[in-house]
Structure 1
Amino acid sequence: MDIKKVIKRYGYTIEDVARKMGISRVTLSQNMSRNPTVGTLERIANAINCSVGEFFADEKDIPNTIICPHCGKMIKFEKV
């Protein structure tokens, strides 16, 4: 589980997410480095508009997505 990687993929920094959650960057970093609770994961996911499952998914296992080689952000697409 790489929460920092998912946060970056969505175009946010740890500071951005902490601010949205109403906590300090240090507190968020400490929560992520330990074993975060489901509640903490839900709050992080809500802050970056993703699902909690994305913290556990391998990038290649998420259907209809690619990773931008320039910025590392996940791009979702629909089949037409």
Structure 2
Amino acid sequence: MLRIKEVLKEKKMSQIELAEKLDITTVGLNKIINGNPTVDTLLKIADALDEDVRNLLSPSKEEDSEPIYRKDENGNEIIIGYLKK
């Protein structure tokens, strides 16, 4: 589960402000928040919020979760979080 709304509250930032930083519409951002964004999209959001991408994901290793991978500088895949299926 994504924590984007929670992080926005913590940073006292609106969805409108984040959408402007990402150069997308608020409708597009809402679809991302309520949908299943790509890792690249999550990385862009994390960058716009000046957060580690792991802070955008609920810590969960439940069996019904799917790991999110990112390649490190050596090309190795590392788990950066989990999304519920």
Q: Do the two structures share a fold, i.e. TM-score over 0.5?
A: yes
Structure 2 alignment gaps of length 5 or more: 60-85
3-state SS of paired residue (2:30): helix
RMSD value over aligned CA atoms? Answer: 1.3
- Structure having the higher helix fraction is 1
Please give the TM-score of this superposition, normalised by the length of structure 1: 0.65
Mapping of 1:40-59 within 5 angstroms? 40-57=41-58
Residue 18 of structure 1: aligned partner: 19
Deviation of 1:2 (Å): 2.0
Structure 1 alignment gaps of length 5 or more: 59-80
- Output one character per residue of 1:5-37: Cα deviation in whole Å (capped at 9) or x when no partner: 112212211100000010000101011111111
In 2, Cα distance between equivalents of 1:8 and 1:45? 14
Mapping of 1:61-80 within 5 angstroms? none
Q: Could you tell me the percent identity over the aligned residues?
A: 33
Please give the TM-score of this superposition, normalised by the length of structure 2: 0.62
Q: What amino acid sits opposite 1:35 in the alignment?
A: N
